Structure 1
Amino acid sequence: MRLSRFYSDHSDVFSPIDFVAGLNVVLAEIRLPENQQRDTHNLGKSTLGRLLDFGFLAGKDPKFFLFRYPQFNVFTFFLEVELEDGTFLTIRRGVADATRIAFKKAVVGQQDFSTLAERNWDHWDVPFDRAKDLLDSLLDWRALKPWGYRKGLGYFLRSQDDFRDVFQLRRFANAHADWKPFLAHLLGFDGDLVTQHYAKEDELAEKVRIEQTIQNELGGTVVDVSKVEGMLLLKQQDLDRKQERLDAFDFRTDDKAQTRALVDEVDQRIAQLNGRRYTLQANRKKIDQSLKEDQILFNPDEAREMFAQAGVLFEGQIKRDFDQLISFNRAITEERQGYLEEERAEIDVELKAVNAELTALGKRRSETLRALSDTDAFLRYKRMSAETVTLRADITSLERQRGHLRRLQELRHDIRTLAAEHGALQELIEQDVEAQNREPTSRFSQIRLFFNEIIEDVLDRKALLNVFPNTKGHLEFRAEILDEGGNATSADMGFTYRKLLCVAFDLAVLRVHLGDRFPRFAYHDGVLESLDDRKKELLLSVLRAYADRGLQSIITLIDSDLPKRAEGDAVFEDAEVIVRLHDEGEPGRLFRMPSW
């Protein structure tokens, strides 16, 4: 499929563009001296690619100039393409009604259907989504299936923004799962495996997320299902017994249980706590006494005065020894007091806890004794009914917990299964990549050779197209220029060389699909910019060689980017220049109208 014609219903403003089978050049000439040093000239050189994309039913982008500026609402554009069978298809799309499309097939190309009556179109006023499906079937790019025609269109309508990366186009700014499976398919790998791998990874991640949510609902701790089942069994048995006694209005068993609990649990625990409280209080009293006694009562000054009255000399060595002894004892005393105060603080904390528990047990003992001494059967019935309500609430909570735990078990089983399937897909991808790399006649190997051939013809350097799975099983794509030793260099990082890598990649893919139902055109904007003259000549030779193979190439450039030639020696033949723009007013622009 090649481009044949692009025109509008306002030919006085936008002249029809007729494409040729080989090399097509959109040439912008800078004739005014004051414009020679400008970076942009607003002539429309780079606009044609976006107009072609519009004709191929690109989505409605409010930032696109056709929709942004109201003066274009009156335009209707027509894109004519030559199909595989030699017939011609015209796609009609207006700006004001951009979501209503018309189609017409013809046996003769480069016609003007801008005034064709509605009844003479094969399909008229087709809704946008339906129109894309219809165009997909009419173009019949089978080699792209199961993806639609627009998925790979960006590789063959390269704008300046699409030269930033060889593989990831501007329209592929989404997750890798959106474009890597398609690119793998384009290069001859099993794209379906890559799609399944991403889908399985997403499914696995979702299961893990749900598992974490359930764990959070369980409070972050996972209890064994067996334990929950056992607790449920005991609670249910207790409930059944209480309900049976309630139905029989019999509280004797309950009285026995309460008496046994009072004697075996409450009273015994109260006795233990009282003993512990006595011990703690006794220890605290001893600590208080020790803190009072740990005081140094000897005063050297008073001793000196007493010795003086007795006529004994106290100054000198004796006083120094006493001072040192007092300092030593004071240090020991302070350290001991610190430990005693820490111990007292710990005793106070434990005493507080013991007193609180004794208070609670005393309350429970009082309530139990009151219940046992209560002769009102109605009050006992109410009390036991409340206990059954509590039991039912506990059972409901346990059943909910059991449900979460069972769901957690199912999820973990699913996670193990998905992880195994994910790993199996990763292994299949690795095997597929290895097989395609190893086989010299595979599609990928052929693209590799064509890609290197183009770079070598232009730069006299080898280039390597590399595809490999990373540690997660995701495919990575690399395009690198090699040095003399076969090592990757940083040359491909510059914008000029990266643009050249993009062109080489697109042409290599087109060439390997020459025998398939596949696009046979490539549009590259500003392809010669920043290259030296020799490389420009070599690249043009490559483009013409590929045109001879049946590939239609459309390039745009400014005349200052043309390689220098001898006087009168033109770079392009007149038939190759399909659009000639210049900066001498509106007649030289793509749209012969004031700038917007």
Structure 2
Amino acid sequence: MKLVKIYANKNFKNIEFEPEFNVVIATIFEKQKKKDTHNLGKTSLIHVINFILLGSFNKKIFGNKIFNGVAFYGELALNNGSYLIIKREIDTNTKISFKINDTKTKGFLIPKNWDDENLAFDKARKKLNEHLGFDVVPSYDYRKSITYFLRTQQDYLDVYKLDKFKGKHIDWKPFVFELLGYDSNLIIKKLSLEEDIDKKKEIIRILKDEARINVNDRDKLAGLLDIKELEVNEAKSTIDKFNFFQQDQYINKELIESLDNQIQILSTDRYRIAYDIDKIEKSLANISEQINIEELQKLHNEAQLLFPVELKK
């Protein structure tokens, strides 16, 4: 794949690239107004190319009013010999259009008809990935590799780690590993293990903070545990040596003797109560049913006791 042209409907100087080698040079024509070559648009060109190749929308760059209503077009020479034109507008940057031609277009003509028009962003990325057919690192799509060729100044600080890769190593190192001809699964496995180790270390740290246990006290705690284990073993040994059979015999004999004594006492009480009941019943049987009131009154008078008048009635 090669960039052939970049152009826009307005506010942009159209560019047609040379087939072999291209250099972007910033030149100052009005030295009184501009003393250095910074902020002349060199880096912005990188962002425009990235935008056309369906990079994420950079609001910091394209939020400028100068880009309002701008539609960018990029013409690419594909590996199969055909030419692909991409259309992406600033205002509707998630809608992408594609046009395939057998030959390179003349000038900077905007196609009237599109093979795929206003495709959704994710679908357009997949479509562009099919058109480009990158086979150097087939396990990754074109966006992963193309970012290594679209470098800003900060991306040159580290040859392999671009400025945009500020996240985890696993997000970019496997690709570089495979790009250099190695099996990326090896580095993925290594980084995954390192990440797992870091997570476990963090869990250990949290547990230590929650338990508030000093690592230096480990030997002391281990010694205390050994002492407790010895105490438990001694208790088990003592229990195993204890003769429960003889103790059970003694307890059973004592219980039987106690119950026998209680039975004898209860039997004696029962006999005595039965004897008393019999005597009472015999005494009650000899009582006369006829009562002599006069004799009873005479008895009360002799005892100087009040004899109720109601009894005479």
**TM-score of the aligned structures, taking structure 2 as reference length:** 0.61
Q: 2:48 maps to what in 1?
A: 51
Structure 1 contact 4–110 (Cα < 8 Å) conserved: no
> Which one of 150, 160, 184 corresponds to residue 177 of structure 2?
184
Q: 1:77 maps to what in 2?
A: 72
TM-superposed deviation, 1:62? 2.0
TM-superposed deviation, 1:217? 7.5
Task: Report the AA paired with residue 176 of structure 1.
Answer: H
Distance 1:110-1:44 versus aligned 2 partners, 3 A rule = farther
User: Do structure 1's residue 199 and structure 2's residue 196 form an aligned pair?
Assistant: no
Q: 1:60 maps to what in 2?
A: 57
User: Do structure 1's residue 175 and structure 2's residue 168 form an aligned pair?
Assistant: yes
TM-superposed deviation, 1:154? 2.8
> Which one of 28, 32, 38 corresponds to residue 34 of structure 1?
32
In structure 2, distance between residues paired with 1:210 and 1:27: 54
Distance 1:208-1:14 versus aligned 2 partners, 3 A rule = closer
TM-superposed deviation, 1:57? 1.1
Task: Report the AA paired with residue 96 of structure 2.
Answer: I
Distance 1:82-1:136 versus aligned 2 partners, 3 A rule = same
In structure 2, distance between residues paired with 1:165 and 1:35: 34
TM-superposed deviation, 1:204? 3.8
Distance 1:35-1:217 versus aligned 2 partners, 3 A rule = closer
Task: Report the AA paired with residue 25 of structure 2.
Answer: L
In structure 2, distance between residues paired with 1:174 and 1:193: 20
Distance 1:185-1:30 versus aligned 2 partners, 3 A rule = same
Task: Report the AA paired with residue 166 of structure 1.
Answer: V
Gaps of 5+ in 2: 214-220, 233-313
In structure 1, distance between residues paired with 2:183 and 2:119: 34
In structure 1, distance between residues paired with 2:41 and 2:198: 47
Q: 1:132 maps to what in 2?
A: 125
User: Do structure 1's residue 144 and structure 2's residue 142 form an aligned pair?
Assistant: no
In structure 2, distance between residues paired with 1:48 and 1:34: 25
In structure 2, distance between residues paired with 1:186 and 1:102: 30
TM-superposed deviation, 1:116? 3.4
Distance 1:217-1:90 versus aligned 2 partners, 3 A rule = same
Larger Rg: 2
Helix, strand or coil at the partner of 1:47: helix
Helix, strand or coil at the partner of 1:197: helix
The structure where helix makes up a greater share of residues is 1
Q: 2:297 maps to what in 1?
A: none
In structure 1, distance between residues paired with 2:55 and 2:204: 41
In structure 2, distance between residues paired with 1:160 and 1:215: 44
> Which one of 67, 90, 95 corresponds to residue 90 of structure 2?
95
Structure 2 contact 26–37 (Cα < 8 Å) conserved: no
Distance 1:35-1:103 versus aligned 2 partners, 3 A rule = same
Q: 1:7 maps to what in 2?
A: 7
Helix, strand or coil at the partner of 1:143: coil
Helix, strand or coil at the partner of 1:151: helix
Percentage of identical aligned residues: 33
Give runs of aligned pairs for residues 337-416 of structure 1, distance below 5 A.
Answer: none
In structure 2, distance between residues paired with 1:112 and 1:125: 24
- Identify the structure with bigger relative contact order (alpha carbons < 8 Å, sequence gap 6+): 1
Gaps of 5+ in 1: 231-596
In structure 1, distance between residues paired with 2:134 and 2:170: 22
Structure 2 contact 28–37 (Cα < 8 Å) conserved: no
Distance 1:174-1:213 versus aligned 2 partners, 3 A rule = closer
Distance 1:169-1:216 versus aligned 2 partners, 3 A rule = closer
User: Do structure 1's residue 24 and structure 2's residue 22 form an aligned pair?
Assistant: yes
Distance 1:32-1:208 versus aligned 2 partners, 3 A rule = closer
Helix, strand or coil at the partner of 2:96: strand
In structure 2, distance between residues paired with 1:153 and 1:170: 14
TM-superposed deviation, 1:130? 2.2
Task: Report the AA paired with residue 158 of structure 2.
Answer: D
TM-superposed deviation, 1:94? 0.5
Distance 1:204-1:161 versus aligned 2 partners, 3 A rule = closer
In structure 2, distance between residues paired with 1:33 and 1:126: 45
Give CA deviations for 1:151-172 in whole Å, capped at 9, x if unaligned: 1223212222222222211111
TM-superposed deviation, 1:186? 1.2
Q: 1:105 maps to what in 2?
A: 100
In structure 2, distance between residues paired with 1:41 and 1:215: 53
Give runs of aligned pairs for residues 474-513 of structure 1, distance below 5 A.
Answer: none
Helix, strand or coil at the partner of 1:195: helix
Distance 1:214-1:104 versus aligned 2 partners, 3 A rule = same
Structure 2 contact 99–111 (Cα < 8 Å) conserved: no
Give runs of aligned pairs for residues 221-240 of structure 1, distance below 5 A.
Answer: none
Give CA deviations for 1:271-314 in whole Å, capped at 9, x if unaligned: xxxxxxxxxxxxxxxxxxxxxxxxxxxxxxxxxxxxxxxxxxxx
TM-superposed deviation, 1:147? 1.7
Helix, strand or coil at the partner of 1:97: coil
In structure 2, distance between residues paired with 1:31 and 1:61: 29
Structure 1 contact 144–186 (Cα < 8 Å) conserved: yes
